[in-house]
Structure 1
Amino acid sequence: MLTALEVFTTVVVGLMVGVEFSVAFIMNRILNALPGDSGQLGHAHGGRMLGAVMPFWYIGSLALSAVWAIAGWHHDGAGLVVTAAALLILSVIMSILLLVPINNRNKAWTPENRPEDWKEQLNRWERFHYVRVAVIIAAFTLLVAALA
């Protein structure tokens, strides 16, 4: 049963890393290259869509890692799993304090109501997101190492 939990947790976190990596290094570049207001509208739509899903994914990943850490406490790699869970806690805190406030504003923007500094706000979100992606990649790497 522990092996199934380990594999399932690693897959869930790995998929989350893949989505967030894609947002950071592929989707944002595509959206930023679109002409006119299309990029901003795409960012707003993405903020609504992913903003509805990611809280469950982040909290779920953290919960699965915590269960793995508790269930596997006396097994090899437990320290790696605990450290990965701590990094996932950091990613949730970063999300709540840094990224969600910007996303909550962004998802309601239209070309008619967006603030003058909307590009600066999106750039700030992207910088915070790069750091969060590095944190969750580190957590994922630790989970994979704990499996080995």
Structure 2
Amino acid sequence: MQHTLSVVTVVVVGLMVGVEFAVGVFLNPIFEQLPDNGGLAARGAGARILGKVMPVWYISSVVLGSVWAALAWGDAGAGLVATATALLVLSVLMSIALLVPINSRVARWTEDTLPADWRQQLGRWDRFHYGRVAVIVTAFALLVLGIA
């Protein structure tokens, strides 16, 4: 049971890391190159779609990590799993405090409702996102190391 849980947790978190990495490193830079602010529409659509999926994914990752850490408590690697889970909790807190407020605004923007500082807001979101990606990549690596 614990081995299956560890594999499921690593797969779920690994896929989440892959999506978030791709958004920051590939998709958003590609969107920035689209003509006529086409990237703005793409980022808005991404904010709406991923804004519905990612909260479930993040919370599921925390729950899976927590259950794994509890079941493995006292075993080799349990500390790594607990630390990874704490980092996943940190990523949720970062999301709520830093990224979601900007993302919620971006999801509602149209060409007619753009604030004057929209590029700065997107840049701020990108910087916060890179920090969150670093946190979840570290959590993922610790989970992989925690499989004993």
Q: Same fold (TM over 0.5)?
A: yes
Which residue of the partner structure matches residue 22 of structure 1? 22
TM-score (norm 1): 0.99
Give structure 1 stretches of 5+ with no counterpart.
none
5+ long unaligned stretches in structure 2: none
Give the residue type in structure 1 aligned to 2:117: D
What is the RMSD computed on CA atoms of the aligned residues?
Answer: 0.6
Q: Which residue of 1 aligns with 2:53?
A: 53
CA distance in 2, matches of 1:41, 1:147: 41
TM-score (norm 2): 0.99
C-alpha distance in structure 1 between counterparts of 2:112 and 2:34, whole Å: 18
Q: How many residues align?
A: 148
Equivalent in the alignment of 1:7: 7
Listed one character per residue, the Cα deviations across residues 22-49 of structure 1 (whole Å, up to 9, x for unaligned) are 0000000110010112110111000000
1:55-96, Cα deviation, whole Å (9 max, x unpaired)? 000000000000000011121100000000110010000000
What is the one-letter code of the residue matched to 2:3? T
Aligned to 1:130: 130
- Please give the alpha-carbon distance, in whole angstroms, between the structure 2 residues aligned to 1:90 and 1:74: 23
- What's the counterpart of residue 107 of structure 1? 107
Matched residue type, 1:15: L
Q: Structure 1 segments of 4 or more deviating over 4 A?
A: none
CA distance in 2, matches of 1:3, 1:73: 14
Q: CA deviation at 1:111?
A: 0.5
**Overall identity of the aligned pairs, in %:** 57
Secondary structure class of the residue paired with 1:113: coil
Deviation, 1:106, is 0.3
Q: CA separation in 2, counterparts of 1:145 and 1:70?
A: 17
**Superposed displacement of residue 147, structure 1:** 1.1
Structure 1 residue 114: Cα displacement: 1.1
Aligned to 2:121: 121
Partner Cα separation in structure 2 for residue 79 and residue 38 of structure 1 = 46
* 1:92-140 deviation line (CA, Å, top 9, x unaligned): 0000000000000000000011101111000000000000000000000
